[in-house]
Amino acid sequence: MSEPEKSSGDDEPRDFIREIVAEDLRTGRRTSVVTRFPPEPNGYLHVGHAKSICLNFGIARQFGGRCHLRFDDTNPTKEEQEYIDAIEEDVRWLGFDWGEHLYHASDYFERLYEWAVGLVRAGKAYVDDLSADEIREHRGTLTEPGRNSPFRDRSVEENLDLLARMRKGEFPDGSRVLRAKIDMAAGNINLRDPVMYRILHAAHPRTGDAWCLYPTYDYAHGQSDAIEGITHSICTLEFEDHRPLYDWFVENLPVPSRPRQYEFARLRLSYTILSKRFLLRLVNEGRVRGWDDPRMPTLSGIRRRGFPPEALRQFAEMIGVARRESTVDYAALEHCVRDVLNRTAERRMAVLRPLKVVLTNYPEGQVEEFEAVNNPEDPAAGTRRVPFSRELLIEREDFMEDPPKKFFRLAPGREVRLRSAYLVTCREVVKDAGGEVVELRCTYDPATRGGSAPDGRSPKATLHWVSAPHSIAAEVRLYDHLFSRPDPGAEGDILDDLSPRSEEVLTGCRLEPALAGAPVGARVQFERLGYFCVDRDSSADRLVFNRIVTLRDTWARVKAREK
Ligand code: ATP
Ligand code: MG
């Protein structure tokens, strides 16, 4: 017998969910694969959602199936069109396409309601007049069974009448709910007569005022899956205890297909909070510039910061999918970003905190151009010409008047290399009245053109620089973790853990002229400094850059040490 056809090649990701999918196809339990990504449009997507998107769309792609984008829009009080638009943009940006398969739970409101009426007719659902607090109180605990509601045994006729009037809008919010009649003594609390509908006199972004009765997540979700023919309904572990209820609805309703739910561990990331509700709070309280603040773990924030979508897909693949809860080191995500940018970002020179250098023996008015490699990792990226003149700018922190032992960069009397240009020696330090260093007077060695000396001497340091008269102005925003500790909120108020150093804005930065006109979103490496991205706050006469990530890969170091 020939080997069953393997759907996944050797370089395809593998995990327990993909194993299940492959097995279902192999045994013929399923003949096709349909997954879905089901966000609730009550906020912007974050990197945790990226894991779920890559998993659902990735499985569909890998096994020749399809993945739906479905808005789980069952709570109109928290949902907005702005979020719907942002979510679509984010999923596309990540590189996935749902084609014509865009759906909304609200598309199914009528059908869900009919099915609920059917459950009432079958004696499997009832209208309850208890308040939310009373329902909670009757529910029991993990160790004690719940108690039946006094309204549990209403006649079918009375239930049908009340449900119809609930729909018509005869009753105020919170006065009545529809509950499934399952078992108030069930060990699984989710089966203790869960609420299916609540009264909410609120306009919905899509259905407007058509409804004042809205289904709960538990009732709407599985049935939406069944309507769409979802085969593998993949969600995070907090829904594991809801699975018996998911199955109960599917078994007790005339649904057109039988989806199955599988759970995996949600992504947790150090130095970050992945919760839409909390991120909304940061936005509302003005603690960040908005949902797309470059420090936010939202996909729009990460995009604005300059993370390439490819890095997020790579990250999702690297962390894999499992059922064990764990926190991923933020440095692992940065590692993926560096990996992509190292291959794709062109190199440029930029000086963030400029210090003037005058080459006293370089002819006034002379300009030379040096050929600089755009990307040593990618010969196809070619070269560019960088102007050099008598007046240069270097990084203030690359000079020390009184250097400690391990400082090898520029100091009085010392020679260093200027990248792709010449060796220069510091001869004199000029200070202002306050004693601050404002200028270095140096000499260059004309025999070292291109950066190497004929006599073989080689300085320990190579500095980046720009030619002062040719350089262009920029603002550069340096970003760091939003939180100052890896486990924000672990001790005390989480807001106290917001890092005061998460953003530093530098004005007066100077860039090599090749950066003039760089478009919003362009990503470059500033030599020796890190990767940077042109921010949308840029204008024609002033570029604004965000630091995407520094060059130092702490994650790779940690991994190397582990070996
Ligand atoms: P949040 O807790 O941030 O509000 P949510 O789970 O309420 O997230 P949904 O819009 O319901 O957000 O999520 C859509 C899908 O994304 C769900 O299937 C959910 O399981 C998944 N998801 C949400 N957060 C994560 C995460 N941190 N890691 C992996 N998947 C996630
Ligand atoms: Mg949710």
Of the listed ligands, the closest to the CA of 47 is 1
**To test ligand 1's pocket by mutation, which of 235, 236, 277, 298 has the most ligand atoms within 8 angstroms of CB?**
236
**Nearest residue to 359 via CA among 285, 427, 421:** 427
Quickly state the pLDDT bin for 558 (edges 50, 70, 90): confident
Of the listed ligands, the closest to the CA of 45 is 1
Q: Tell the residue nearest (CA) to atom 25 of ligand 1.
A: 48
Mean pLDDT score, 5-16 = 68
Q: Which atom of ligand 1 is nearest to the CA of 38?
A: 14
pLDDT surpasses 60 at 48? yes
pLDDT surpasses 60 at 167? yes
CA of 48 from ligand 1 middle (Å) equals 7
Quickly state the pLDDT bin for 2 (edges 50, 70, 90): very low
Q: Kindly report, residue by residue over 415-426, the tens digit of the pLDDT.
A: 999 999 999 999
Return the pLDDT at 557. 75
Q: Tell the residue nearest (CA) to atom 22 of ligand 1.
A: 49
Site residues for ligand 1, CB cut-off 6 Å: 38-40, 48-49, 51-52, 235-236, 266-267, 274-277
Of the listed ligands, the closest to the CA of 276 is 1
User: What are the Cα distances from residue 8, in Å, to 60, 96, 230, 261, 262?
Assistant: 12, 19, 20, 22, 20
| 213 or 540: which leads in pLDDT | 213
pLDDT surpasses 90 at 560? no
pLDDT surpasses 90 at 4? no
DSSP state of 270: T
Return the pLDDT at 12. 84
Q: Tell the residue nearest (CA) to atom 16 of ligand 1.
A: 49
Return the pLDDT at 144. 95
Quickly state the pLDDT bin for 552 (edges 50, 70, 90): confident
Q: Which atom of ligand 1 is nearest to the CA of 41?
A: 10
Catalytic residue IDs? 40, 266, 276
Return the pLDDT at 7. 46
Return the pLDDT at 83. 96
Task: Note residues around ion ligand 2 (Cβ under 5 angstroms).
Answer: 40
CA of 198 from ligand 2 middle (Å) equals 17
Q: Tell the residue nearest (CA) to atom 4 of ligand 1.
A: 276
Give the N- to C-terminal CA distance of the chain in Å, as an integer: 43
Q: Which atom of ligand 1 is nearest to the CA of 46?
A: 3
Cα of 188 vs its chain's centroid, Å = 34
At 157 the three-state DSSP class reads helix
Return the pLDDT at 541. 84
Mean pLDDT score, 215-234 = 98
CA of 40 from ligand 2 middle (Å) equals 6
Q: How far apart are CA 49 and CA 150, in angstroms?
A: 42
Of the listed ligands, the closest to the CA of 52 is 1
CA of 527 from ligand 1 middle (Å) equals 38
CA of 217 from ligand 2 middle (Å) equals 8
Cα atoms in the Cβ-side hemisphere of radius 13 Å centred on 441: 7
Query: Tokens at residue 285, please?
Result: 């309280």
DSSP state of 401: S
Neighbour-count burial of 471, counting CB atoms closer than 10 A to its CB (0-12 exposed, 13-18 middle, 19+ buried): buried
Q: Kindly report, residue by residue over 392-414, the tens digit of the pLDDT.
A: 999 999 999 999 999 999 999 99
Return the pLDDT at 225. 98
CA of 410 from ligand 2 middle (Å) equals 55
Q: Which atom of ligand 1 is nearest to the CA of 40?
A: 10
Residues contacting 232, CB < 8 A, separation 6+: 17, 20, 21, 24, 33, 34, 35, 59, 259, 260, 262
Mean pLDDT score, 342-346 = 97
pLDDT surpasses 70 at 202? yes
pLDDT surpasses 90 at 554? no
pLDDT surpasses 70 at 1? no
Mean pLDDT score, 72-100 = 96
pLDDT surpasses 90 at 13? no
At 252 the three-state DSSP class reads helix
Q: Cα-flanking dihedrals φ and ψ of residue 84, to 5°? A: -60, -50
Q: Kindly report, residue by residue over 234-269, the tens digit of the pLDDT.
A: 999 999 999 999 999 999 999 999 999 999 999 999
Mean pLDDT score of the chain: 95
